[in-house]
Structure 1
Amino acid sequence: MIRLVLRHRVLLAGSFCCGLVSVVLVVAGPLLLGRATDLVVAGDLDELAPALGVTLAVYVVSGACWAAQGRLTTRLVQRTAFTLRADIEAKLARLPLSYVEGRGRGELLSRATGDVEAITLALQQSVSQVINSTLIVVGTLAMMVRISPPLALVAVITVPVSAAITTAAGRRARPFFDRQGQAMGELTAQVEEAYTGHDLVRQFGRGPESSAAFRELNQALFEAGSRAQFVSGLIQPALAFVANLGYVVVAVFGGLQVASGTLSIGAVQAFVQYARSFAGPLSNIAGLSALVQAGIASAGRVSELLAAEEEPPEPARGTGDAPRGHVVFHRVGFRYADDAPLLENVSLEVAPGQTAAIVGPTGAGKTTLVSLLMRFHEVSEGRITVDGVDLAEVPRAELRANIGMVLQDTWLFGGTVEANIAYGAPHASREQVERAARLACVERSLDTVVDEEGGVLSAGERQLIAIARAFVADPAILVLDEATSSLDTRTEALVLRAMRQLRRGRTCFVIAHRLSTIRDADLTIVMEAGRIVEQRPRGPLPGDRRPPATLRDET
């Protein structure tokens, strides 16, 4: 958290300077009031009015500096939160897909939103408080020593006691705040899943079980939060007791020194005010313990995210040439864990403009194969080349800009149908988007507004929009992963005709279970258990005795 704040040193320095001026004036206030009291006791009323005027001016200027410090501190904290959110967004873009796949979306959302908000709140409440409290403690201690070193020693004795109480309570509360942050992430993930799969929960009558899971996580959050707040809440009353005890001792010894003539009444009055000011910041900081501990726990979770291992570094420059689409897998192996190989010794070659159909049972590694081509994952063994260039030597952005991908599970962004189709080509004209929509048989108006889950659109309509998105991107290499699985037979036939136009002159990888989708493929690759067991050039498929179907036949 300190490193985050130090990124904005100018704002921090301005806040510190305003706080310093304000504290110096505040510390001078009791001394001026003590002098005014001595004037009253001495009966010198002629100098009383100027003394009170100076005191009033001191407090007015101090208040103005305090307000300026508050403004600078707010800007400092909000700028820090802005930078932190930007860092998280940039980090998520650099994380490998395996990191995102291994965690719930709610967990990541909790870190990017709830934890950042907890850090912001802790900084907002603590930055100016820590600066001012530190300055006040130093300033009041200097003034107390100036007035009476013995009384100052009595007041200072309470500091180590207060520090010991704060440290012990903070150490005990920290695990509860860590657990609170973890429970909040788990609860957010559960709510996000239940909301996203609301229809499925209703369909299978799993509402009671979903509610029970929510209550269990909510109870865990309640218990962790209650314990954390209770333990941290003990700090302020304990410090208040220690401070009041010290205040009583100072008052007694101060009264004895007045009686002995060692100190004046005004000096003791000023010292008592300084003693209060000395203990107040410690109590205020202790009162922020819950916020600070929660912020530290959240900062730990965010730091863990920011320190996660990123994708391997990219080359400084790419080839700069438009790929022809000559794809070769050279004895490629891939595994998520060392003891669980997923792909082994995969070798294949697809010439420019060819369509390669990848078939095989579920779990054979078909989608993983094309994921490696997209560099969503890095190969564990071997290498993949495009036009003779190792993919590891090509920047991911350049590679993916030349590859279009249509998945079985489509995802739409909040906005219009037109914006979703043009997502892969932001500068596409309206005419280009309309042509892509027409080729993909998208019948919805381009101005129809949809949400992340598709809203009013059926699964088939969402998939048609995803296909149109690939059309308008005009990639050199096309990957179709069960792209027509949600379409009816007639629409599939129309889309296949359009896709044949799209595939013309492009290298295409098609993952499908329907023979109609892959009947005209140039190469059929059969996978089983992470291996290629057969590669069949263009010709009749096993069990398929009919000639290739025309659009009329398909319809």
Structure 2
Amino acid sequence: MKPLDPRLVRRSGTVRTHLVWSVLLGALTALLVIVVSWCVAEVVARRFDGSEVLLFPAAIVAAFALRAGIAWAHGVVSERAAIRVKAELRAEVVDDLLDPRRVGPRPESGRLVALLGPGMDAFDGYVGRFLPQLALAAIVPAAVIGVVAWVDLLSAVIIVVTLPLIGVFMALVGLLTRDRVERRWAAMERLSRHFADVLDGLVVLKVFGRRQERGIREVGERHRAETMRALRLAFLSSLVLELISTISVALVAVSVGLRVVEGDLGLRDAMVVLLLAPEAYLPVRRVGMMFHDSTEGATATAELLDLLDHDRHTGTVVPPAAPAPIVVRGARLTHRGRTAVSLSLDDLHVEPGEFVAVVGPSGGGKSTLLDVLLGFERLDAGDVTIGGTSVTDLDIAAWRDSVAWVPQTPHLVAGTIAENIALGQPAAPRDEIAAAAADAGLDLDLDRAVREGTTDLSAGERRRLAVARALLRVRRTGAWLVLLDEPTAGLDALHEALVLDALRASRATVLVVTHRPESVAAADRVVEVVA
């Protein structure tokens, strides 16, 4: 895992500004460290000689005060940068998920909650403390070694030889920590997903008397155990880094002390080396100590950047305003992270106004075909054309305005039944909403309130509401393509017949993914998809 992901630097102006400030403040810190050490060494040497120290004590006090002020400013700048980076990334993720030009699957809600919640909170340690310390670790030791080499070359050689040992042990600790952090992060995601699933199905679970305290307790216990393992490793690694740096400073001190006794090194130069030697190891040692504080933030950063790293639609061609032929040729698609083909379709030609049923085994690529037509996925090979124009060349937002989509699991928003049917069309008249509901067989009070989610209505009622929403969209906006994924699953024969009749009467081009024999029988043509 890289200490600083280059993608974060390229994407965030706040991070770039923060790094510039960290370098400037780190350079001032290095300068003050050298000034303080030199002044203290000068005072000690002069007092041994009986000379006047003049203004050196005042300079030491001023330098210490200035160093404290710079440390405070560094902390303030870092904390504010962490807050701004979190706000920027959260806003960017939300905008990205809502961007119609986005290509690729949406993340699971549990993973997204974990990333935008605890994952983003870890940025305080990563951006606010680790990255500034990384700048200090790059600047202060180099400046200190340069001054020590000017004063005493042998001591500088000892520092140069022993300083990389801290880096070696940090690398070894990093290899051990990576697995611990990944397991802890996986435990956090499992806990988030489990909790979200329990909340989604809480009403059903309560009705059937299923208690979830034990499951949540077990998942939480696994998360606690992984956290404690990571903390134990953090404490042990900090002990190792302290031991290595202490031994290294001792080697410098012994060498300096012996040469002072022999008269080969002056007292002032020896004091400069002794005071600067710990400062060469301190920033690097603190980086190692903060590494554990940063790993979770770095992991969350990598996952967020992976989430934002995807293709986007760039087409600008205006799609057909009237029903047009839809042609699929040689379509092949394999989802990221999988080896099996998700969609394989050699040829499909849908005429305007045609009702086509798409059938095939589960996992054969039927829903993936709808995702490709909507522009949510991009083919690895082959092409999809609308009226002779490839989907990738169309203005995707304008194209989706021509489509009414009924997903396999329709979603509700907080409001009334009427508001959910008129979603995206707030100006729809009440009578048109009622007509769409009646045609879809949705015999519910339009003023009935529903909450966000899927627990207020049955599965069949949700599907009929989604069909009514699609019918209203076709009638009011001129959408001429209706894509449906199992719209009649869970419906009785009467309601299924009402839905199918309403779809045929819409005069739109209809592609319906289905396993129901009645839906297949109502279609003009049947297409089988087998990945």
TM range, smaller chain: 0.7 to 0.9
- Supply the distance in 2 between the matched residues of 1:134 and 1:181 (Cα, whole angstroms): 29
| Distance in 2 between residues matched to 1:212 and 1:91, nearest whole Å | 33
Ranges in structure 1 where 5+ consecutive residues have no aligned partner: 532-555
Post-superposition shift, 1:28? Answer: 0.7
Contact 1:412 1:452 in 2 (8 A): yes
User: What aligned pairs does 1:154-553 form with structure 2 within 5 A after superposition?
Assistant: 154-199=158-203, 211=214, 215=218, 221=223, 224-260=226-262, 268-302=270-304, 304-306=306-308, 310=311, 314=313, 316-319=315-318, 321-322=320-321, 324-329=322-327, 347=348, 349-351=350-352, 354=353, 356=355, 358=357, 363=362, 370-377=370-377, 385-413=385-413, 420-421=420-421, 423-425=423-425, 428-429=426-427, 432=428, 434-441=430-437, 443-445=445-447, 448=449, 450-453=451-454, 456-457=456-457, 459=459, 462-463=462-463, 466-467=466-467, 469-470=469-470, 471=472, 474=477, 475-481=479-485, 483=487, 504=506, 506-509=508-511, 524-526=524-526
The alpha-carbon distance between structure 1 residues 339 and 225, as it changes in their structure 2 partners (threshold 3 A), is closer
Offset at 1:32?
Answer: 1.6
- Tell me how far apart the structure 1 counterparts of residues 300 and 83 of structure 2 sit (CA, whole Å): 16
Cα distance in 2 between the residues matched to 1:333 and 1:146: 69
The Cα offsets for residues 102-124 of structure 1, whole Å up to 9 and x where unpaired, read as x7543454455554544553232
**After the TM superposition, which of the residue ranges 192-201 and 505-514 deviates more from structure 2?**
505-514
In structure 2, how many angstroms separate the alpha carbons of the residues matched to 1:151 and 1:365?
A: 68
Unmatched 5+ stretches in structure 2: 438-443
From 64, 74, 77, the equivalent of 2:79 is 74
Task: Calculate percent identity across the aligned residue pairs.
Answer: 21
For the residue of structure 2 that corresponds to 1:18, the secondary structure is helix
Output the TM-score relative to the length of structure 2: 0.75
Contact 1:413 1:450 in 2 (8 A): yes
Match of 1:126 in 2: 130
Counterpart CA distance in 2 for 1:387 and 1:148 is 80
1:551 corresponding residue in structure 2: none
Cα deviation per residue 1:50-91 (whole Å; 9 max; x = unaligned)?
A: 332222222223333333333333344444445544565566
Give the letter for the 1:145 counterpart.
A
Equivalent-residue separation in structure 1 for 2:137 and 2:380 (angstroms): 55
Counterpart pick for 1:17 among 16, 24, 32: 24
Residues 316 and 395 in structure 2, CA contact (< 8 A), matched pair in contact too: yes
**Number of aligned residues:** 508
Provide the C-alpha distance between the structure 2 equivalents of 1:491 and 1:110, rounded to a whole number of angstroms: 40
Secondary structure class of the residue paired with 1:20:
helix
Matched, 1:6 2:23: no
Of 185-194 and 334-343, deviating more is: 334-343
Q: Deviations over 1:359-402 (max 9, x none)?
A: 87885977566555434455788765544545454333222111
Aligned-residue Cα RMSD (Å) equals 4.6
Specify the code of the residue in structure 2 equivalent to 1:240.
Answer: E
Does the CA contact (< 8 Å) of 2:355 and 2:510 recur in 1? yes
Contact 2:195 2:216 in 1 (8 A): no
1:437–1:465: 8 Å Cα contact kept in structure 2?
no
Q: Is the partner of 2:453 in helix, strand or coil?
A: coil
Rounded to whole Å, the distance in 1 between the matches of 2:150 and 2:342 is: 75
Q: What whole-Å deviation, never above 9, does each CA across 1:191-250 have from its counterpart, x for those lacking one?
A: 433443345556677657x946973x6666556545444444333212322333344444
> What is the alpha-carbon distance in structure 2 between the residues aligned to residue 368 and residue 120 of structure 1?
39
After superposition, the C-alpha distances for 1:424-469 in whole angstroms (9 at most, x for unaligned) are 34xx43xx264554334563549x5722335x45556645653554
- Partner secondary structure for residue 241 of structure 2: helix
CA distance in 2, matches of 1:262, 1:437: 97
Distance 2:380 2:149 in 1: 69
Q: Deviations over 1:473-499 (max 9, x none)?
A: 6223334555566779999999899x5
Residue 31 of structure 2 is aligned to residue 29 of structure 1: no
The code of the aligned residue for 1:451 comes to E
Describe the SS at the equivalent of 1:288: helix
SS at match of 1:424: coil
* 420 and 128 in structure 1: CA distance in 2 versus 1, 3 angstrom threshold: farther
Structure 2 CA distance for partners of 1:414 and 1:280, relative to 1, 3 Å: farther
- The letter for the 1-side match of 2:63 is V
Q: 1:102-141 to 2 correspondence within 5 Å?
A: 104-111=108-115, 113-118=117-122, 121-141=125-145
| CA apart distance, 1:411 | 0.6
Question: Is 2:69 aligned against 1:64?
Answer: yes
> What is the CA–CA distance in structure 2 between the aligned matches of 1:172 and 1:513, rounded to whole Å?
50
2:102/2:313 contact within 8 Å kept: no
Provide Cα deviations, 1:393-419, integer angstroms capped at 9, x if missing partner.
Answer: 433322211111234521124567676
How far has the Cα of 1:284 moved from its partner? 1.1
Residue 150 (structure 1) shift: 3.7
Instruction: Please state if 1:51 is matched with 2:63.
Output: no
Match of 2:440 in 1: none
Kept in 1: contact 2:413–2:450 (CA 8 A): no
| Cα distance in 2, alignment partners of residues 2 and 146 from structure 1 | 36
The separation in 2 between residues aligned to 1:335 and 1:148, in whole angstroms, is 66
Secondary structure of 2:355's aligned partner: strand
Distance 1:386 1:489 in 2: 34
Letter matched to residue 184 of structure 2? Q
| CA shift in 2, pair 1:332/1:338, >3 Å | farther
How far apart are 1:147 and its partner, in Å? 4.0
Is the radius of gyration larger for structure 1 or structure 2? 1
Shift of 1:293: 3.9
Q: What is the TM-score with the length of structure 1 in the denominator?
A: 0.72
Query: What SS does the aligned partner of 1:14 have?
Result: helix
- Residue type at the aligned position of 2:398: E
1:23·1:62 contact (CA, 8 Å) conserved in 2?
Answer: no
**1:287 CA drift (Å):** 0.7
